[in-house]
Amino acid sequence: MSGSTLGRLFCVTNFGESHGPAIGCVIDGCPPGMALTEADIQHDLDRRRPGTSRHVTQRNEPDAVEILSGVYEGRTTGTPIALLIRNQDQRSKDYGEIAQQFRPGHADYSYWHKYGLRDPRGGGRSSARLTAPTVAAGAVARKWLKEKYGTQFRACMTQLGELPIAFESWEHVPNNPFFAPVAEVGQLEDYMDALRKAHDSCGARIRVQATGVPVGLGAPLYDKLDADIAKVMMGLNAVKGVEIGDGFASVAQRGSVHGDAITPAGFASNHAGGVLGGISSGQDIEVSIAIKPTSSILTPRPSIDIHGAPVQVVTKGRHDPCVGIRAAPIAEALLALVLMDHALLQRAQCADVSQALAPVAASLK
């Protein structure tokens, strides 16, 4: 009932707090025999880690992962894989003043009423710090999926606050701190600098894509692939909206446009985002998520304390003025975890199913 475990056959249990001694996860259900080392996981953690630019939190965490179990002589054994990431740069004193107050936009008020107490240090369990173990688990899933099916994952920022970001090329994404698919990010840099000086924050929109996805993942009625994708994406800190394929733009489309025509050479379009009837079609999975503005800002805001008295809350400490800047690798990991779980479920139930008609090409465009 804790809500800390994701998946049915590929199960990931996340543990730890923002300012505790360590965070981590236990992966149960990883197939045996896959080569796995810390280096396979560390690359994705380095993409997510804090302190990598002036536009994100300056908390300096190396996020070095340790494999504690489930791997012998460099290969997975099929037993639980425990991954540990030690916290090394906590500043709990930054939260002393708000231990008795509820920060607007945070989980303080709801956690306190649900559990009767809360860990105020960096948000405790509700902190985005807990996305690091998710990224670590996702790295294991994406390696298996790539080796088995050739599936690959990528994500980019498509909007920063009020600024839409036109797509130029995936090649630009690893070359700037915004995961933006553009060559020039000067406007984004200036926007973030002004935002920080104003002691404010902004949201972001992230596009996530999986290519090389096999046909048949997902099941009716309530285990639809897109339903599970939407669920895990909403589980990511600060996410307030999820779209699959064209999402809300589908409202303005005609059926003659939205329905993806199928030809002998392949699908003519991918408005559905790679999912038909809750089952993967073999096309690219396309997901878009909306991330709200960071609630931790220096601008004073009205709230109450635990006694109900009015207070002015100022959130000090080191925070991302836009949590969406580091969300791309996290969203990739979440999508990988869902596809991994559904791939194992498909293999368990339908491994013997075959069709004379080979899957058509993903898309003609």
Please state, in angstroms and rounded to a whole number, the distance separating the CA atoms of residues 344 and 338.
10
In this prediction, residue 88 carries a pLDDT of: 86
Based on its alpha-carbon atoms, the radius of gyration of the chain, rounded to whole angstroms, reads 21
Which CA distances in Å does 165 have to 205, 241, 263?
Answer: 9, 18, 32
In this prediction, residue 45 carries a pLDDT of: 97
111, two tokens = 């956690």
Please state, in angstroms and rounded to a whole number, the distance separating the CA atoms of residues 276 and 272.
7
Collect all residues with Cβ–Cβ distance below 8 Å to 333 and sequence separation of at least 6.
44, 134, 135, 137, 138, 139, 141, 142
- Separate counts of helices (H) and strands (E) for the chain: 7, 18
Quick check: 168 and 159 in contact, CB under 8 A? no
In this prediction, residue 284 carries a pLDDT of: 98
Nearest to 143 by CA among 85, 84, 81: 81
Please state, in angstroms and rounded to a whole number, the distance separating the CA atoms of residues 9 and 29.
6
Q: Please list the rounded mean pLDDT of every run of 10 residues in the chain (365 residues).
A: 91 95 97 98 93 73 95 98 89 69 93 90 86 98 98 98 98 97 97 92 97 97 97 97 98 96 95 98 98 91 95 80 95 98 98 93 73
Which CA distances in Å does 50 have to 37, 92, 139, 282, 319?
Answer: 22, 17, 18, 35, 10
H helix or E strand, kind and range, residue 279? strand 279-280
> Backbone phi, then psi, for 208, in 5-degree steps?
-125, 135
What is the greatest pairwise CA distance in the chain? 70
CA atoms within 13 A of residue 14's CA, in its CB half-sphere: 26
